Amino acid sequence: MENYEAEVRERWGSTDAYRESNARTSKYSQSDFQAAKVDQEAATELFVHAFGNGLSIDSIEAQNAVRAHREAISKWFYECSIEMQKQLALMYVEDPRFKEYYESRNKGLAQYVHDAINAQ
């Protein structure tokens, strides 16, 4: 975990989003972190459902997943704009660690999430 924290600090430490996230999470209890994880997993499951049912990236269901994803980040970490979310989507297909998170759910899901986020 410490390796990730150093990487995050190096990559985004000078951004407003990093500072906001750090300020919020520094006050979180274990139950807060667990609640954040539940919200994030719920958004991921919406993507899993849409993708698994062959729904287009611009379908209501896929776009509901996109909104739930952005809202979970905004609720728990930092205000996530659509543009910021699109930057995150790029990491989901380019960074093997993020890609594996989605691919472990369903092969091809990382690209679907990326594309759905960019379709908004």
pLDDT at 4: 63
**C-beta of residue 110 within 8 angstroms of C-beta of residue 93:** yes
What pLDDT score was predicted for residue 108?
Answer: 98
Which of 10 and 89 is assigned the larger pLDDT?
Answer: 89
Q: How far apart are CA 50 and CA 65, in angstroms?
A: 8
Tell whether the model's pLDDT for residue 63 goes beyond 80: yes
CA dihedral 69, 75, 80, 82 (to 10 degrees): 50
- CA-closest candidate to residue 88, choices 17, 35, 38: 17
Query: pTM of this prediction?
Result: 0.88
The CA distance from 66 to 60, in Å, is 10
More confident residue, 16 or 36: 36
State which residues form the domain around 69. 2-119
The number of distinct structural domains making up the chain is: 1
* The dihedral sign for the CA sequence 71, 73, 74, 76: positive
CATH code, 61 = 1.10.490.50
